Chains A and B, each alone.
Chain A
Amino acid sequence: MASPRSVLHSRLSHIIKPARYTGGEWNSVVKDWDQTAIKVVLAYPDVYEVGMSNLGLMILYDLLNQQADVLAERVYTPWVDMEQAMRGSGMPLYTLETRHPLHEFDLVGFTLPYELNYTNVLTMLDLGGIPLLAEERDDSHPLAIGGGSGTYNPEPLAPFFDLFVVGEGEEVLLELVELCRERGHQKDEYLARAAQIEGVYVPSFYQVEYNEDGMVRGVTPTHDNAKPAVIKRIVGVLPPAPTRVVVPFVEAVHDRGMIEIQRGCTQGCRFCQAGMIYRPLRERSLDEILSTAEELLAATGYEELALVSLSSCNYSRIEDLVERLLARHGPNHTSISLPSLRMDSFSLRLAQMFQGQRKTGLTFAPEAGSERLRRVINKMLSHEQILNTAAAAYESGWHRIKLYFMIGLPTETMEDVEAIASLVKEVQAIGRRARGKRAELSVSVATFVPKPHTPFQWSPLEQIATLEEKHSLLRRQIRGRSLKLSWNDPQTSVLEAALSRGDRRLAEVILAAWRGGARFDAWSEALDVQRWWDAFASQGLDPAFYAHRQRPLEETLPWDHLNSGVSKEFLLGEYERSLQKEFTLDCREGPCLACGILETFPTESKVKRRGRWGCIESGGTAR
């Protein structure tokens, strides 16, 4: 039989972007397979170009490979053509570094950033020679670990994984590796020990019971070591950011150097899951960011540096930072980018600094069209602020502005949607006045999908018919030269909403959809929603039950046994305030809101050697 490598060679010329599968990139770490005791795969359930843009995976890759007796290698989902070629030739899914099949590793860690990637997890396990269900695997198989934001409700994936890490992975992953050193991976013993690690959730140690109405009655531990509730892990201080990061040959979606300048966000937008689950806010010091930038650019040769965070403008010394980075790296033709701009004059001044002469386009996210609805979602932005910022942007040289909105938000009416259209027209008129025919405006409208661990976790996804009505209103009203409107398919949102707030029974649905051919559901060219509706029907389940139902406040939610550090009482309070249209201040600007994070991590919050938390000291003043 031909070796996998020669088969690989003869196939790749007919494969789309074959360099997705060949590795060898600058800064990739290739260790001696036979001489390294512990072998970890870091798997990303999407194509190479998407996965290579993920900073989280790169942080863990760097961290694990710093350990002398550990090797960490990468793998991404093969696109459908490659999957076919691999199945056709009997070649297993292999890692980019040493080209070993996944089943030969000790640990296989998946990042779970997005619900519509779930079928890709199954593709990767299956192609990697690993039985799909954890209960079908024994000591000879790797342990499958899930991490990332998906683990805040991992129930739909529970049967496929041995354990999930809830929260930040930097410390836990090293503890799980340490357990490998001590115990090898004798599965039962390993899991029993792992379940005692803070932040580790072993789903097979819990039993889920359901009421006759289909709701969860309770999730109860069935193993002595299983905690009744798993509290997420955080790092008290952000560890040094990786600088010798892998530089892809194939252009990544975000093909640039990235520095996480802070983690967490204090703005408290009620729709935003990241804003809740990544608390508390922790900043890196200015000096640390500057020296990291120096090392990162020297080690990669990147021509662009992105300052990554959920709200970069809120970094306490952002102006100073951008100014100094530009002074140091601008002359080397390195550009600086901030992925998240607020819609105020301060942000505009920043944009002017880093965009310099190159005023291509600016993106802002008012999220809702009316001030009333912005109060509901806690997006503090007045009508006037939006118009003033747009005017200032056009007047100071930008000719293209992009605005992000959501529809289907709780309490939204047709008037709120019309408010989007009229706001857009006002901004367009401002553009015309300032830049004449050159002024461009693009409007992107996404469907709001309620997420676990947010104040809107009880809210329904809007009915498809209503969403379509809202789309058609916007399409009618937002048209004309130099005005562009884009929106997403509501069916995709139904699927996302069902998986996002689903329970363990959805695992059978995912399996059935995957067996029916579902792959790359996040890609419109690959998604066939009918496969999913068939899969739901085959299990006697209704996607509407998960997606469109207003959940009673007393309902046991499938993720109630997982604790994000932000208390359910706080979320409930925010939900009630949203219905009263009451703003809640950014907690760096007002009193402590007692979201629960300080109570959950009393020890960590005292460890503020470097960097600091955005939280107000108990009994003291901010910072």
Chain B
Amino acid sequence: MRPQIGHNQRLRVTFAKGQEIKYISHLDLMRLWERAMRRASIPLLYSQGYNPRPKISIAFPLAVGITGEREIMDVTLESPMAPLDFATSVRRQLPAGASLLEVEEVYPTLPPLQTQVRAAEYLATVDDGESAEQIQTRIDSLLGSEQLPRQRRDKRYDLRPLIEDLRLKSKGESQCILGMTLTAGEGGTGRPDEVLDALGLAERVRAITRTRLVFSPPEEEPPGLVGLGAC
């Protein structure tokens, strides 16, 4: 059923966090979007109470220093707007490095985005220093391990079950690119820098980018992306 006029409207926004802003934190990014939308005079829905906050939720926080090619957030408006108009107005207010790629209207009753993220795909660019075979050996030995006990901020955990996929994607003259799919969610979240460290490549990492979020149920697209209207 299409949401009725006068009701709150939920928009699902696909965006990129580029080089220029890759060092800003998740909270900084939230403020960036809130202020850009306020400048664009978007009718944001605010929570009730002493400290009203706009209803903007980003599916999966991105670690500082990592770019994101297709990040996703939901924004709730207190009065409906055509997705195209939303996109046009907000794009004018974005600093370099933040780009709005797609906007779609989704059912307001869908579960919160954060609960639906199951995994994420990353590409890491690593400075070369050895042959493709040597890098493959590092990968094989990592994937061959039954356990990868690690420690992060005083917490011990096993990295191995969080790695769904890890492979050498390409090898150039001076750099090679690794691709990985890491589990995300309540059962534990794999961090690409931890994987690279476990591979012994931490010192050679040049860039990491998150290319895609994987949602559950394990379909190709985020849940409920039914074409209520898109741009």
Contact = CB atoms under 8 A, between A and B. Distances in A.
Most buried by A among B20, B31, B32, B52: B31
A250 B31 CA distance: 9
B35 A13 contact: no
Interface stretch (B91-99, B142-150, B159-167): B91-99
A299 B39 contact: yes
Interface stretch (B8-16, B21-29, B69-77, B168-176): B21-29
A134 B186 CA distance: 59
Contact of B39 (A17, A298, A360): A298
Interface stretch (A19-27, A343-351, A504-512, A590-598): A19-27
A18 B52 contact: no
B48 to A, nearest CB: 10
Nearest to B96: A24
A251 B28 contact: yes
A251 B32 CA distance: 10
Given A12-B65, A18-B64, A357-B50, A250 B35 contact: no
B34 interface: yes
A303 B96 contact: no
Contacts of B38: 297, 301-303, 332
Interface string A229-249: 000000000000000000101
Contact of B20 (A22, A247, A301, A358): A22
A18 B66 CA distance: 12
A251 B27 contact: yes
Dominant SS at the B interface?
mixed
Central interface residue in A18, A297, A299, A300, by most chain B CB within 10 Å: A18
B131 interface: no
Interface residues of B, number: 29
Contact of B21 (A10, A24, A251, A360): A24
A249 B50 contact: no
Contact of B23 (A19, A247, A299, A303): A19
B51 interface: yes
Given A18-B23, A19-B25, A301-B38, A24 B97 contact: yes
Contacts of B32: 249
Interface in B39-71: 39, 44, 46, 50-52, 54, 64-65
Nearest to B204: A10
A10 B207 CA distance: 9
A476 interface: no
A333 interface: yes
A358 B25 contact: no
Contacts of B24: 19, 249-250
A18 B23 CA distance: 6
Given A333-B54, A357-B50, A358-B50, 17 more contacts: A19-B28, A22-B21, A24-B20, A24-B95, A26-B36, A26-B93, A249-B95, A250-B25, A251-B31, A300-B39, A301-B38, A301-B39, A301-B93, A303-B35, A303-B38, A332-B38, A333-B52
Interface of A: 9-10, 12-13, 17-19, 21-22, 24-26, 247, 249-251, 297-303, 332-333, 357-358, 360
5 closest residue pairs by CB, A with B: A301-B35, A301-B38, A18-B23, A301-B39, A13-B65
23 contacts: A13-B64, A13-B65, A18-B23, A18-B64, A19-B24, A19-B28, A21-B23, A25-B95, A249-B28, A249-B32, A251-B28, A251-B31, A300-B35, A301-B35, A301-B39, A303-B34, A303-B38, A332-B38, A333-B46, A333-B52, A333-B54, A357-B50, A358-B50
